[in-house]
Amino acid sequence: MTLAERACARLTVAVVILLLVAVSLTAQAIAREHTAAELIEIWQTQGWKTDFSNTRIDLTEVGFGGPPRDGIPSIDAPTYRPVSEVSDLADAEPVVSIAIDGTARAYPLGIVTFHEIVNDEIASVPVTVTYCPLCNTAIAFDRRVDGEALEFGTTGLLRKSNLVMYDRSSDSWWQQFDGAGIVGMHAGKQLELIPVRIEAFALFRDRFPDGEVLNIPEGFRRPYGNNPYVGYDSRAAPYALYDGSLPDDIAPMARVVALKGAHAGLAVSLALLVERGEVEIDGFTFTYRPGQASALDTRRVAEGKDVGNVIVTRQDNGTASDVVHDVTFAFVYRAFHPQGRIVQAQPGQ
């Protein structure tokens, strides 16, 4: 890439994020002025066929994120290359990694940030790999519901600063944070969560020398490898897109390692893991090692500050098995789990 092309890419990213934030703030303000009935009317005029009479949430919690439906386009026909052929990813560059029945794949955040959803199939299992930059939540789901493999897209909407997905079969809305169906025909249903890791590319390459890495999708013009949210994880507070309460016992933008599913009431501060290296709580082992670049720091993802690598395991018949978790921000965790526990000191101290 020439210097001119790099400058153009940097300018494009800056303009895009400024426009998105400005549009999003305006849209959020408009949304807050409407009742649920008025919002439903707006959404229906936008073409949504969602059954809004079936909801598990207060619809006024849903705000406009800026882009329209599928304005952040999902990747629906992903292709891959062998990890041995990858030379354009730095060792510390963050990837979302997943392994199912011997097939391991890595999804670079320098790509996924611009799409947020990858509809895939791994070892005959239909999966959706997702990433919400505003929450730093990387979560994968088995996308089968009632025997049907659903395809997911972005609604252009946010709830508690988190991506609201939709399935293209019923227009039902789903919360990315936990895979819960929140509005529409599938409201009240739960997607099965699949363990993933956000880890440095070098760790994935070492763990899976025969693994595969997501290619840049064809047909899109995006400044891949760049971060459109420069400095986001160094802010004192989230963007004004989030208008909920902030925690008073931990910095809102502090990273926490949050368990999902049946154990969703437990989180551990990343600061504690950085200090201790390993912490055992309630039968779970939280382990930290340095060497992963933040996807939400500098312009180039590969140059982001070191936020380290985290895994969470639990003994299963003598074998340490990965536990579903994410590394999110404290304000996000508390927004979804107001009474949740965030461990900030070594138990017993």
- 183-239 pLDDT, tens digit each: 999 999 999 999 999 999 999 999 999 999 999 999 999 999 999 999 999 999 999
Choose one of 170, 192, 207: the last residue of a domain. Answer: 207
Let me know whether 187 and 68 are in one domain.
yes
Has residue 223 been placed in a domain? Answer: no
Backbone dihedral region for residue 138 (phi beyond 0: left; psi -120 to 50: alpha; all else: beta): beta
257 and 168 housed in the same domain:
no
pLDDT of residue 302: 98
pLDDT at 156: 97
Using the predicted structure, report yes or no on whether residue 12 has a pLDDT greater than 60.
Answer: no
Residues 157 and 291 in one domain: no
Same domain, 253 and 188: no
Task: Classify residue 117: in a domain, yes or no.
Answer: yes
Task: Output the pLDDT for position 30.
Answer: 53
In the predicted model, what is the mean pLDDT of the chain? 92
The residue-averaged pLDDT of 73-97 equals: 98
Give per-residue pLDDT as tens, 121-175: 999 999 999 999 999 999 999 999 999 999 999 999 999 999 999 999 999 999 9
Q: How confident is the model at residue 336 (pLDDT cuts 50, 70, 90)?
A: very high
Domain check: are 150 and 242 in the same one?
no
Q: What is the pLDDT of residue 310?
A: 98
Where a domain ends, among 207, 242, 258? 207
- pLDDT for 348: 62
From the CB of residue 18, how many other CB atoms can be counted at a distance below 10 Å? 11
Please check whether residues 26 and 115 belong to one and the same domain. yes
Whether 227 is in a domain gets the answer no
- What pLDDT sits at residue 3? 46
pLDDT value for 76: 98
Report the pLDDT averaged over residues 239-255: 95
In this structure, are strands 212-214 and 103-108 parallel, antiparallel, or unpaired?
parallel
Does any domain span residue 216?
A: no
- 282 within a domain of the structure (yes/no): yes
Report the Cα 140 to chain-centroid distance in Å: 9
For the chain, give the percent of residues with pLDDT over 90.
86
| Structure confidence at residue 316 (pLDDT) | 86
Q: Which of 191, 207, 223 is the last residue of a domain?
A: 207
pLDDT above 50 for 9: no
Say whether both 189 and 76 belong to one domain. yes
Residues 155 and 28 in one domain: yes
The verdict on residue 348 lying in a domain is: no
Parent domain of 302: 232-343
Rounded Cα gap, residues 65 and 131, in angstroms: 15
Same domain for 164 and 64?
yes
194, 241: one domain: no
The answer to whether the CB of 217 falls within 8 A of the CB of 3 is no
Tell me, yes or no, whether 215 lies in a domain: no
Question: pTM (2 decimals)?
Answer: 0.92
Instruction: Grade residue 248 by pLDDT with cuts at 50, 70 and 90.
Output: very high
Question: What pLDDT does 66 receive?
Answer: 87
Q: Are 21 and 111 in the same domain?
A: yes
For 23-60, the pLDDT digits (tens) are 455 455 555 678 999 999 999 999 999 999 999 999 99
Residues 185 and 257 in one domain: no
| Cα–Cα dist 251/44, whole Å | 38
Sheet holding 162-167, edge to edge: 62-64, 152-159, 162-167, 173-175, 180-183
The domain total for the chain is 2
Q: Is residue 70 part of a domain?
A: yes
| Rounded Cα–Cα distance for residues 212 and 201 (Å) | 11
